[in-house]
Amino acid sequence: MSKSNNNRIFSNYFLVVVSISSVLFFLSSFIFFVLNSNKIIDDFKEKIPVVVFLNDEASKVEISQFEKNLSIDSSIKDFKYTSKDDAAAKFSSEIGENFVDFLGYNPLLNSFDIYFYADKVETFYINDVVKNYEKEDYVNEVSYDAPLIFLINENFKKVKDWVLILAIFFIFISILLINNTIRLSIYSKRMTIKTMQLVGATKSFIRRPFIKTQIKLGLLSALISSLIFVSLIYYFNITYFNIDLIIIQNSIFISVGCAFLLSLLISLISTTIITTRFLNLRIDKLY
């Protein structure tokens, strides 16, 4: 076999692997997003703080009591106390200038950042909580992103429905793309297929090496796409989201498993159908 022929075969296989890997990567990502849409939204909601600013006159006893009340509130996931001095130091670091020296005093207030469990991050519930906090004499102001909470809760169901529709559509497109990639790969060998048939080889004998080759390429593509997919999931999780991996590991396995299963099934079914079609064609139809 000539060197140019080997290069052509390698180039053909390489394009098949790249094409299928790309499709499987996006498919795995889409499946992962669908499976974790609730978790992603919940995690996002639990990062929206309700900030309670305290009066300067608030005593240590009042602050301690308020902190104790927060710690026993079952609707609160976490909270963080920030003194006015710490807040000033952080703000000065962000703007690159000591604004306290410039103003001559620290205008910031002691505060608590309060994070609620996702099922409690609802407009009506948060409004009631805020009203209760504002009744306390030592509370100066309560701040939270009401429009964001409303937007998330109002549009979440719509987003889920559209994501599901897009997922089904994308799976369909993925099957078509992988099928076309395999068809083009086998098309270049249609004359070899017909020649083997003319010399007496059975259809199953002719199909076998093509099926084996395409399954190997499909599994290799699934492996490559899965490695890229898992690596990016870990990277983005560590860099941006910081979600407990135990929570999402099942959906990672399902997404990767779907990629391998889909690759295997499409490679097997498509190769069988396509080779059979070429075997059943008359010689004059091959050109």
Tell me the mean pLDDT in the region 215-242: 85
d(CA 270, CA 218): 11
pLDDT higher for 178 or 250? 250
Between 144 and 207, name the one with better pLDDT: 144
Higher-pLDDT residue of 279, 28: 28
Of 116, 144, 172, which closes a domain? 144
Whether residue 179 sits in one domain with residue 128: no
Contact status, residue 218 vs residue 267, Cβ threshold 8 Å: yes
Using one digit for the tens of pLDDT, what is the confidence trace for 30-56? 888 888 877 778 888 989 999 999 998
For residues 185 and 237, membership in a common domain is answered with: yes
pLDDT > 90: percent of the chain:
23
Number of CB atoms found within 10 A of residue 80's CB: 11
5-14, 23-32, 105-114: lowest mean pLDDT where?
5-14
Instruction: Give every CB contact of residue 83 below 8 A, 6+ residues apart in sequence.
Output: 110
Q: Band of the pLDDT at 78, cuts 50, 70, 90?
A: very high
- In whole angstroms, give the CA distance from residue 208 to residue 215: 11
Do 109 and 39 sit in the same domain of this protein? no
- Weakest mean pLDDT among 59-73, 81-95, 105-119, 163-177: 163-177
Return the sign of the alpha-carbon dihedral for residues 242, 244, 246, 252: negative
Element (H, E) at 219: helix 203-236
- Of 82, 115, 144, the domain-final residue: 144
In a shared domain, residues 24 and 84:
no
Poorest-pLDDT segment among 71-85, 119-133, 179-193, 210-224? 179-193
Q: What is the per-residue DSSP string for 79-143?
A: EEEE-HHHHHHHHHHHHTS-HHHHHSS-----EEEEEE-GGG--HHHHHHHHHHHHTSTTEEEEE
Q: Say if residue 245's pLDDT is above 60.
A: yes
* Between residues 122 and 183, the one the model is more confident about: 122
Residue-wise pLDDT for 130-141, tens only, equals: 999 999 999 999
- pLDDT surpassing 90 at residue 251: no
Looking at the structure, tell me whether residues 160 and 267 fall in a common domain: yes
Least confident of 39-53, 66-80, 174-188, 208-222: 174-188
Q: Which domain holds residue 60?
A: 49-144
Reference 78, options 52, 57, 109, 47; nearest CA is 47
CB atoms within 10 A of CB 256: 22
Q: Does the pLDDT at position 244 exceed 70? A: no
> 111-116 and 139-143 as β-strands: parallel, antiparallel, unpaired?
unpaired
Stronger pLDDT, 106 or 53, i.e. the higher one: 53
Q: 24 and 173 in contact (C-beta within 8 Å)?
A: no
Average of per-residue pLDDT across 261-284? 79
Mean pLDDT score, 53-71: 91
38 and 173 housed in the same domain: yes
Lowest model confidence (mean pLDDT) among 112-126, 180-194, 207-221: 180-194
CA end-to-end span of the chain: 24
- Kindly report the CATH number assigned to the domain that includes residue 85: 3.30.70.3040
- 280 and 164 in a common domain: yes
Mean pLDDT score of the chain:
83
DSSP string, 137-179: TTEEEEE--HHHHHHHHHHHHHHHHHHHHHHHHHHHHHHHHHH
Query: Which residues fall within 8 angstroms of residue 9, CB to CB, at 6 or more apart?
Result: none
Last residue of a domain, one of 92, 122, 144: 144
User: Quick one: 198 and 274 in the same domain?
Assistant: yes
Please count the CA atoms within 13 angstroms of the CA of 213 that sit on its side-chain side. Answer: 17
Work out how many domains the chain is built from and give that number.
2
Q: At which residue do the structure tokens 């899965």 appear?
A: 226
Q: Is the same domain home to 57 and 194?
A: no
